[in-house]
Amino acid sequence: MTAETTVYRAERVWTLDAERPRAEALAVRDGRVLAVGTLAEARAAAGPEAREVDLGRATVVPGLVDAHAHIHGLGKSLTTVRLEKAPSVEDVLQRLAKAPASSFQGDWLLGKGWDQNEWPGAAFPGRNDLDAPFPTTPVFLMRVDHHAAWVNGEALRRAGITRDTVDPPGGRILKDANGEPTGVLVDNAMDVVEAAIPAPTREQLETRLRAALERCAQVGLTGVHDAGMDLQAFRTLQAWDAAGTLPLRVYAMAAGQGEQRHAYLEQGPWQGRHLSMRSVKFLADGALGSRGAALHDDYSDEPGQRGLLLLSPEELEARAQAFMARGFQVCIHAIGDRANTLVVDVLLRGAERTGTQALRHRVEHAQILRLEDIRRLGAAGLVASVQPTHATSDMPWAQTRLGPERLKGAYAWRTLKDAGAHLALGSDFPIENPDVLAGLYAARTRQDAKGWPEGGWYPEERLRAAEALEGFTVGPAWASFEEARRGRLKPGLDADFVALSEDPMEGPASALVDARVLATVVAGAEVFRADG
């Protein structure tokens, strides 16, 4: 009997296998599930020399996968100034004053996570707030949704942005009543400043990626679908994967928005051990919080503003079909209802023209849709890659942006599923917390951690417990063409699983708020084990 054979026992094991949905033990050998069943059955399959791990009262579930996230972005947020939940501009400035050395890229001070909706008045900030404490240090602060940035005068100067600079296609340079840039840049306008920031050093990039992967393992993720990976990060993970040191499974989407797309097109789909790249990510529009989401009609709280398309419809279609023809699954970010109409059009027409319906093309976010577009998306069997915690983060102000009528097709997970869409759930970290248990809770309750609102926000769109768990297991496996290897626990499949302190199937949803991840196992190897 080999040393790789291990028997794990727990209070319960949810397999998501219809033939044997519940068990009490599983045996693992050489990275695969050897047996699932009673403890006696697992021991018999494993043999007398097998190692045995008693997980006590834990509940074991198949490996949890975040179907839409940003690994480098998470690492960057963990190592630069963190502005999440800052209650005011003053609080932001206090955090910047204490910035660690890792917050600097070259001589630029970087931070991430501010949200003006959390501040008194909910107004966008300005460059003047940053100019006094940082007159000569360029400052670049990413909004929580990654679709707007707040910069100071020195950053604008280095980027060459003045009162005479016109908005780039798909972007807005906010200006005051006198025509001067305010220091807030929306969507493609951010690129103008980001182009002036020195690239991270190799050491910085590796530090960020390691921090992010470690955090993912701690929160119970065995895999991540990375939504738009830059080439430098991809090459780094390729090297780690070849060396056998990449701890999690990463389903990488090529960054299709910028010039690096040409290198990915030339390379074509790629498959390694824990890393693969057979998909590409485009962005059709911006985000709702920064009013960049492209809407058919005006924003309810800003007449005359309908958001931004980040690529022209013609360019988006041309890029999508080029990657489809090369064998890539196409994944397109769409928040607003106009963007979703466009994306469904582009995916359906492109798949038909290229004969790639089998490539399981995806709508990333599928956040605000007209009901007729939900029906079209579902009838085509497209993947709806949605993020439950986006709804619970946005619910305090979403109606202000959209009005009640458009909310009927917003964050509509149940309606999407019932229409025939394949649901793959994620978090969009670092825009949201990578905590997958928070995602399970939000999917089931549509409430915040304190249980607000009572009964849930548009509760008819909630998912049942099994559906929520499948959304982080079976759904991502199908969306990444791995349903024959992962997503369930049954003999022959990869031994990816997570041990939790609470039962996400039969336990109350409220218990997930304080639940803990006890162990994370990838290909039979423990990549995280909680103390105690």
Q: Count of residues for the chain?
A: 532
The residue-averaged pLDDT of 244-257 equals 98
Q: Does domain 107-195 have CATH number 3.40.50.150?
A: no
CATH 3.20.20.140 intervals, the chain: 284-418
The residue-averaged pLDDT of 341-362 equals 98
pTM score > 0.95 for this model?
no
- Choosing among 3.40.30.10, 3.20.20.140, 3.40.190.10, 3.40.630.30, the CATH entry for 284-418 is 3.20.20.140
Average pLDDT, the chain: 96
Give residue-wise pLDDT tens across range 290-332.
899 999 999 999 999 999 999 999 999 999 999 999 999 999 9
User: What is the predicted pLDDT for the residue at 427?
Assistant: 98
Give residue-wise pLDDT tens across range 102-122.
999 999 999 999 999 989 998
The CA distance from 63 to 403, in Å, is 38
Give residue-wise pLDDT tens across range 422-466.
999 999 999 999 999 999 999 999 999 999 999 999 999 999 999
- Classify domain 5-62+525-529 by CATH number: 2.30.40.10
Give residue-wise pLDDT tens across range 216-244.
999 999 999 999 999 999 999 999 999 99
Tokens of 54: 């008693």
CATH 2.30.40.10 intervals, the chain: 5-62+525-529
Q: Give the dihedral of Cα atoms 229, 198, 235, 280; nearest 10 deg.
A: 20
Give residue-wise pLDDT tens across range 254-277.
999 999 999 999 999 999 999 999
User: What is the predicted pLDDT for the residue at 1?
Assistant: 35
- Asked if residues 74 and 173 have their Cβ atoms less than 8 Å apart, the reply is no
The CA distance from 348 to 350, in Å, is 6
Hey, how many other C-beta atoms are within 10 angstroms of the C-beta on 530? Answer: 13
The CA distance from 252 to 273, in Å, is 13
Confidence of residue 532 (pLDDT cuts 50, 70, 90): low
User: What is the predicted pLDDT for the residue at 531?
Assistant: 87
Q: Look at residue 3 and tell me whether its pLDDT is greater than 90.
A: no
Q: Look at residue 73 and tell me whether its pLDDT is greater than 70.
A: yes
